Amino acid sequence: MKLYTVAVVGATGLVGSTMVKVLEERKFPVGKLIPLASARSAGKEVKFNGTSVAVRELKAEEFSGVDIALFSAGASISTEFAPKAVEQKAVVIDNSSAFRMEEQVPLVVPEVNPSDIFKHHGIIANPNCSTIQMVVALKPLHDVFRIKRVVVSTYQSVTGAGQKGVDQLEDEMTKRAVRVKKFPHAIAYNVLPHIDVFLENGYTKEEQKMMLETVKIMGENIPVTATTVRVPVIGGHSEAVNVEFEKPCTAEEVRSILQNAPGIIVQDDPRNNVYPLAINAYGKNEVFVGRIRKDYSVPSGINLWIVSDNVRKGAATNAVQIAEVLIAGH
């Protein structure tokens, strides 16, 4: 088996450290791991395959000899360093928003559009976490019934805002002084209809990401409208998704299709209180779907409750899966 030199940019962050864990868990053929981070994190160590690996300061020269570079350090870092990594022959899989909507950059969820991986010119983009879990469930249904319209409301955990979001919630819950105010209002015992910045059209950037990214990933102009909401949950995003189809369908047909779709676990026995929960999805790599039921307000509609770990399938795991498809294809 060929072994690969893999760099992880942002290796000490919430997503970057999870990327290192997922590489190990999935037995990705890493010959050499190069964890990269800011100067203040250089010298720290990450655990990988039973050994400690020193974190290096992020510099362009560190990409010499790198085969695959997993980036999760923010859009500004990706914009600066991803092209430098590509210049040195690395394939970049980027978790930021920097390149997602660039025409020449594939935006990939392996269960949905794996063939797009091989259209890359050095950079492959990882979609937004809330988009990923939704399209994993939508794709097998679209293939059969053809989606006419999607309405989604999200319930997103504080890990979506990084460690500072977790710190604010924990400080507020324990009534300690808030170390960093990541959110504009209290998040403990509260719900914030505000993720990312507001745009002139009244939507937030997070909502726009879901709408635009879904179209690019699915490869079709599927109308999506979104309301994204932050909730006081540590890990795991939940979504209430209403789908209107062109063709008639039943809840039973939808349930059967999803039960046989890759990357999905159906948990749908509400009479026995069985439905996806963020607390159960946390730490797992799959997308969980339940509350599957007809929408009687339209001729052919279905309601779904979709839950997934946003740090794993919504970021780290999806990136590693892209790398797996990439090396299998080569």
List the catalytic residues: 129, 237
The Cα 291–Cα 314 span in angstroms is 21
The Cα 73–Cα 140 span in angstroms is 32
Q: What's the DSSP call for residue 230? A: B
Residue 283 region by backbone torsions, left for phi larger than 0, else alpha for psi between -120 and 50, else beta: left
Is residue 152 within 8 Å of residue 242, measured between CB atoms?
Answer: yes
Tally of CB atoms within 10 A around 323 = 28
Q: Which pair of tokens denotes residue 264?
A: 């999905």
The Cα 194–Cα 282 span in angstroms is 22
The Cα 310–Cα 129 span in angstroms is 5
φ, ψ dihedrals at 145, nearest 5°? -110, -10
Q: Mind giving me the DSSP string for 24-85?
A: HHTT--EEEEEEEE-TTTTT-EEEETTEEEEPEE--GGGGTT-SEEEE-S-HHHHHHHHHHH
Amino acid in the structure at residue 103: E
Q: Mind giving me the DSSP string for 236-258?
A: -EEEEEEEEESS---HHHHHHHH
Strand pairing category for 224-227 and 147-155: parallel
Helix axes 251-259, 129-145, angle to 10 degrees: 120
Tokens 């909502």 map to which residue?
207
Residue 35 pairs in a beta bridge with 8
**Exposure b/e, 165-186, CB count within 10 A at least 16 = b:** bbbbbebbeeeeebeeebbeee
